[in-house]
Chain A
Amino acid sequence: MAQTTTTVIQEARARDTVGIFTHMADAAATEVAPGDAAEAALAFLTEMSPDLRGAAILGSDGTVLAAAGDRDRWREDAAVLLAAADGAGPEPIEQVHVATEQGEVFALRHAGLAVVAVTERFALASLLFFDMRSVLRDLAATLAAEGEG
């Protein structure tokens, strides 16, 4: 029985699979809309934080770039929270953490963006703030890169 040598098989595999990769989405440079980048960032935050019930990412002007649920209500209520927090001191706040019997609310501003998140009680605040900050940092870099491109 004739056998094909291993070298030939691997050459054939390499030749044929190149065609597969050229049809995949990552092979072509694609432009990402700001809303899509924010939705991806929100999905990433949700995946990273098991205690998260919902969150929204806001632009510098307070518009909702991404939200889990009713965008208008997230925009209104997040604006009220941030306004109340800003009114408490002489300078704008960077982070807010409100813990209630029903759940906990976190808000963070970074790089001109803001994220507001609602979690179960007793969520680990430092971890959540770290995740929120890293998500906003990456999103800001993505949006800046798109602005330059």
Chain B
Amino acid sequence: MPPKPHRILLDRVSGYADEAAAYMRRRRISRRPFARLYYPNGRAGDHADDSAVGAELFVAAGRLIEVAGRRPKA
């Protein structure tokens, strides 16, 4: 007996949700720190943390993170 149409739809939606969850999980595991700058003309540039600019950006960002502190628990 063929499956009911709503089953097909539900299976498809669940499949997409599983794919999205797996993508986000891989992204969390594999993502490394980065510093990215965007210019008014649309150009963007990445700076590694071992470059001079990158090191400055990471130090400044670390200080800002310290100022902001932890997010208060809801």
- By the criterion CB–CB under 8 Å, are B36 and A97 in contact? yes
List the B side residues contacting A116 at CB < 8 Å.
64
Distance in angstroms from B37 CB to nearest chain A CB is 5
Of B31, B36, B37, B63, which is within 8 A of A80 by CB? B63
Known: A96-B57, A97-B36, A101-B33. A88 touches B45 (CB 8 A): yes
List the B side residues contacting A96 at CB < 8 Å.
35-38, 57
Known: A85-B57, A89-B39, A95-B38. A100 touches B65 (CB 8 A): yes
Among residues of A, the one whose C-beta sits closest to the C-beta of B34 is: A99
- By the criterion CB–CB under 8 Å, are B39 and A118 in contact? no
Binary B-proximity of A80-92 (CB < 8 A = 1, otherwise 0): 1100110111011
- By the criterion CB–CB under 8 Å, are B37 and A88 in contact? yes
Segment of B3-11, B14-22, B66-74 engaged in the interface with chain A: B66-74
- By the criterion CB–CB under 8 Å, are A105 and B64 in contact? yes
Distance in angstroms from B50 CB to nearest chain A CB is 14
Q: Let me know if A146 is at the binding interface, CB within 8 A.
A: no
Chain B interface residue count, Cβ-Cβ cutoff 8 angstroms: 30
Q: Let me know if B40 is at the binding interface, CB within 8 A.
A: yes
Distance in angstroms from A102 CB to nearest chain B CB is 5
- Chain A: number of interface residues, binned into ranges: 35 or more
Q: Let me know if A135 is at the binding interface, CB within 8 A.
A: no
Distance in angstroms from B28 CB to nearest chain A CB is 6
Distance in angstroms from B15 CB to nearest chain A CB is 23
Q: Let me know if A149 is at the binding interface, CB within 8 A.
A: no
- By the criterion CB–CB under 8 Å, are A93 and B65 in contact? no
List the A side residues contacting B47 at CB < 8 Å.
88
Of A70, A93, A118, which is within 8 A of B38 by CB? A93
Q: Let me know if A24 is at the binding interface, CB within 8 A.
A: no
Q: Which of B40, B56, B60, B69 has the most CB of A within 10 A?
A: B60
| Chain B contacts to A: CB under 8 angstroms | 27-28, 31, 33-41, 45, 47, 53, 56-65, 67-71
